[in-house]
Chains A and B, each alone.
Chain A
Amino acid sequence: MYALPPGSVPAIVRIVELHFDVLVVGGGIAGCAAALAASAAGRRVGLVRAAPGATALSAGGWTGPLPDRLGAALARAGLPFAPAPAPLPHPAGRLDAHDLAAPSQRAAAPIEDALVCGIVGLAGFPARALARAWGARGAGPAGAATLEAGPVPRGGWSPASLAAYLEREPARLAEALADAVRRASAARAVLPAVLGVERVDDVRAALEAAAGVPVGEALGAPPSLPGWRLERALATALDEAGVTVLPGRVVDRAMEARRVSAVWVRPAPASGAAAEAVAGPPPVESVQIAARSFVLATGKYLAGGIRADDRLLEPALGCPVWIEYLGAMFDEADPLALTHPDHAAEQPLLRAGVRTDDAGRPVDRRGDVVYENVRVAGSVRAGVDAAAPGLGHAAADGWRAGELAAEDA
């Protein structure tokens, strides 16, 4: 039923045994919420994560519910989400309605009285065109300007390098912004989401002090700095809650009766010297981690929680994955049958995932529970479209799975 993915067989197996009450597999918003919930219930929690996934690519808005204690933890980590006063401007030229938003995105709405500011040398944020697109529905922004942030590098700014530069040198942009806001007599300024990699509050404070009006960021497109800040805030929250985070990928699992007793984790390479980088990674060792209950929150295709190479596969725990569509059962990712040319239409392939019972435990085709001590949360579940925004739905799902897993442990 389940085979190790090729290349993942450990060359040297060194058994390092770790024990937890609850082990969460996956470190996106669902996995982090589950870990925080189980930790709040007083359990010893570990979290295995391969890499940042779709959560780190989120745009800075929040759709769906925010569990109270998760919101409090994010606020303590410096990222308080609060209701968005109006639809938020997206650099693709549309206004996105979100329930909540991070402070710097919240300050960008409403767009009607704002000055839209591009930055010289930064591609992907044409201020004049965006001001027209965002104003198409309503009164329209107060105007558009393109500001100088500093000496433009030879290849232009990328969002990340501009953000890193602004954390050091916000003065020149602040001066240009103050001048532009005064001339346009705007009530707020909207800039691209590049106001600092993580110290966005400092950069915004410097700009607001100079301009005298609220300064906000548009939503982020990948590589999204708002998504990265959420990622860092979640890491801080996990650390504060005493959750042990292990970078690595689950490659196999051990079973007792119908329960998972332990998983094998291939740790991520921590660092390497130049010579090692040329020669390739050293032989892989595996770590065995035992726990009383597990939460599976590995995400979908981007994060590797569901794979559709040959057959549909859930590689971490080997849960059954299949698609039911128009009365037929699909084991394989047949793109002709399972996708629709109209991207807004239903896309069954994007909804593939692990099916669960009412308590979030994985089930097979007969509806029998596969693992009694595993709860499934987030976009690895069937029926959740990984392309649809909805951090809040994943977070609420993960929080509930974490509470149930804590009861199991």
Chain B
Amino acid sequence: MAAEPTTGRHKVYLGMAPGVGKTYAMLEEGQDLRGAGEDVVIGVLETHGRSDTARVAEGLEVVARRTIAYRGVELEEMNLPALLRRAPAICLIDELAHTNAPGVEHAKRYEDVADVVAAGIDVVSTMNVQHLESLNDLVAELSGVRVRETVPDRVLAGADEVVLVDITPGELLARLREGRVYPPERIDAALNNFFTVENLVSLREVALRQVAESVGAQRIAYAGAVGTREESLQSAATQAVGDRLLALVEPNPQAQRLIRRAWRSAARLGADLDVLWVRSSRDMSDADERGLAALRQLVSLLGAELHIIDSDDIERAVAEFAAERGSTYVLMGRPRPASGLGRLREPLPMRLIRRLEGVDLRVVADRAQRPEREG
């Protein structure tokens, strides 16, 4: 039987802005690995004239760049064929979002990285959070600066490890003023445009959230792959520490109250809230469409997530989703009274209680059906 082809691992150093020390951290890791006897090379390094960065790269083997002539200009790009021929164990590749000169193998550097990883070489790379495709608009609104070079979210999501290189905005601004980020002639322009405290605070928050989300996604990935007792123990260790609430909704007016209650409970417990609609195969009416739009507005105000799963087996869909998200508490509205053969079935809350072991279930009353009190 042929051996499974092994691919390399991809680790990304993510930062909120230029100058936080991503490249430095990448090179330090390279030096540590080299010191431990690993075969490490630099695929491409952008020092931007920073002497600290150049110093930490000393002693590491560099795969020479190649020169590409484009419209009368000579551009230097990472030499992917030479790197693949050299086949080191670990390769350091700076600036994942870089756009290559026309005429080389790929348009983008992250595509080069995919080839290197596919060849079984571990890659350590760097990128700034504003280059992430899904955050491009958000960052542009926050900072007023739109970057043209973007990286698809799948690249970061597919990375084996994402490490946030974090410093405070004040520290970064101090570095900038000291000339450790840009040459002196660019400092004033940078301080007046991109490098404002407000921008950096916002970008830092975006970067922190991004890494937190990738940690959450990895936890879910681990949880889905368990089988043996040891793996179960590992899974238990990676479970979220706190509560996680799941509100089951349908796009009707009652759902708004359910979400409000779920949100209130989540706030009290300090828990995260997921909102789930298991959409059956029947067609959506106009009222459903309007109800869904209203739910989206409410959920987005709260900063929660509205998930929609298409399934006719609500109980199974909820159980799978709750397991995947690590839900500890499920809230649902009062089920519609069954009629006909539906009465032969156990009510949905009971089925869910049986299916969702270790998960609390709360049925929220429909206020419109509450008897009016006298007086």
Q: Do chains A and B interact in one complex?
A: no
Interface residues of A (CB under 8 A from B): none
Residues of B within 8 A of A (CB): none
